[in-house]
Amino acid sequence: MTGATIPRRATLRPFATAEVRHEIREFLDQEAEMIDDRRFGEWLSIVAADFTYRMPVPVTPDNPATPHYDARAFIIDENRGTLAEHWFRRYESDMWEIAWAENPPVRYRHFITNVRVRETEIEDTFDVRSNVIVTGTRQSDQPTPLYVERFDTIARQDDGWVLRARFVVPESTVIDFAQLRVVL
């Protein structure tokens, strides 16, 4: 598995410049818009070939100094290829009759805040930590919120910014959400 760095909270490197922070903040908002609008082709164009999307299993540990997740067990473990072929493919019109959970689709809305951009040992690659709420609304149900902490790896390439890895830790140990099949 390449491209996925499990974040170490203890290693807090310096914040990036204001210019980089501003550009990445814009990038995150635009990236979320593509997901919420279900513009998956565009989204794939700003995601690295070795992109991984992972969500570990949250736990309440007995040692308060350890993180509230199990680093070996996952809820979601996908890559760019599986997202394209198994997730987004189901939204295409020839699948409407059989992709039961996507028709009608759950409506998702991202709310992104507390964005912090830190340098890494690699030039033009940044650790981006944010607090995120995503609401999911299934048919006539009321919206359900999912509260997560998000750790992204974002890099600058010749043709713009690219998302290299996303690691999402849910706040609650019991997931109560409309439909978890979404890039949070």
- What amino acid occupies position 119? E
Q: How far from 51 is each of 15, 45, 97, 155, CA to CA, in Å? A: 23, 11, 30, 12
Count of residues near another protein by CB under 8 A: 35
Q: Does 49 bind another protein (CB under 8 A)?
A: no
DSSP state of 98: T
Amino acid at 175: I
Question: Of the candidates 19, 62, 121, 159, which one interacts with another protein according to CB under 8 A?
Answer: 62
- Give whole-number Cα distances, 32 to 38, 115, 149, in Å: 10, 14, 15
Among 25, 38, 129, 138, the residue binding another protein under the rule CB under 8 A is: 138
| Minimum CB–partner distance for residue 82 and another protein (Å) | 6
Instruction: State in angstroms the smallest separation of the CB of 72 from another protein.
Output: 5
Dist. CA 140–CA 156, nearest whole Å: 41
72 binds another protein (CB under 8 A): yes
β-pairing verdict for 69-79 and 125-137: unpaired
Report, in Å, the least distance between residue 75 CB and another protein: 5
169: contact with another protein by CB under 8 A? no
- At 179, is the secondary structure helix, strand, or coil? coil
Pick 157 or 173: Cβ nearer another protein: 173
Binding part of the chain for another protein, among 27-35, 107-115, 152-160, 173-181 by CB under 8 A, reads 173-181
Distance from C-alpha of 20 to C-alpha of 121, rounded to nearest angstrom: 16
Q: For residue 90, state whether it binds another protein (rule: CB under 8 A).
A: yes
Selected from 7, 21, 67, 99, the binder of another protein by CB under 8 A is 99
Give CA angle at 14 (12, 20), nearest 5°: 125
Residue with tokens 């930590």: 129
Output 21 or 80, the one with its CB closest to another protein.
Answer: 80
The residue among 49, 17, 20 whose CA lies nearest residue 165 is 49
Q: Which chain residues interact with another protein by CB under 8 A?
A: 1, 57, 59-63, 70, 72-78, 81-82, 85-86, 89-90, 95, 98-101, 138, 173-176, 179-182
